[in-house]
Amino acid sequence: MSSPVRNPAPHSRGIMLVPVGHREPKHTGWTVFAGLMLLLAGTLNLVWGFLELVNDYYFSGDTLMVGYHSLWGWLWIGIGVFLLLLAPLVLAHNAAGVFLAIVATAVNVLSHVLGFGSRPGWSIVALVIDALVLFALVSYGFRVRDDVSSLFRS
């Protein structure tokens, strides 16, 4: 009497083994990039806001930012805190977090355009990074949620 084969070898004839392990969802690299850049941008906006509060003329020069410098410092701090709060939501693939991150990144783009005259080199770098974050969020931010939920269907 032969015993049943419990674990056939992968090279057995007529048997096709399908791996049933953890599959990485598509496009997670772009959303992780967007989440990490939101953390970095939020931290830098906090630093710039505090620098503007401490030194009223930190952002001086030929800029479009006019008015009270302490107001701009508080605005930078507010945007920074908002970006820091949104980064975990983007990393968790939350649809509302992705939408709010798109809006916050667009506001961050506007703030860098307004401050272009004082630091043009950094403004260009920040605008390119913000454009990549917007690309990642708009193109892949909402898709990953569907890919993750499809892993748990049977």
The model carries a pTM of 0.68
**What is the length of the chain?**
154
Q: pLDDT tens, position by position, for the chain (154 residues)?
A: 555 555 555 555 666 655 555 555 556 788 889 999 999 989 988 998 898 888 766 555 545 555 677 787 888 899 889 989 999 999 888 889 999 999 998 988 887 787 777 678 888 888 999 999 999 988 887 764 444 455 445 4
Parse the chain into domains and list their residue ranges.
28-149
Secondary structure letter of residue 5 according to DSSP: P
Q: Of 89, 97, 84, nearest to 41 (Cα)?
A: 84
Q: Of 31, 61, 54, 38, nearest to 147 (Cα)?
A: 31
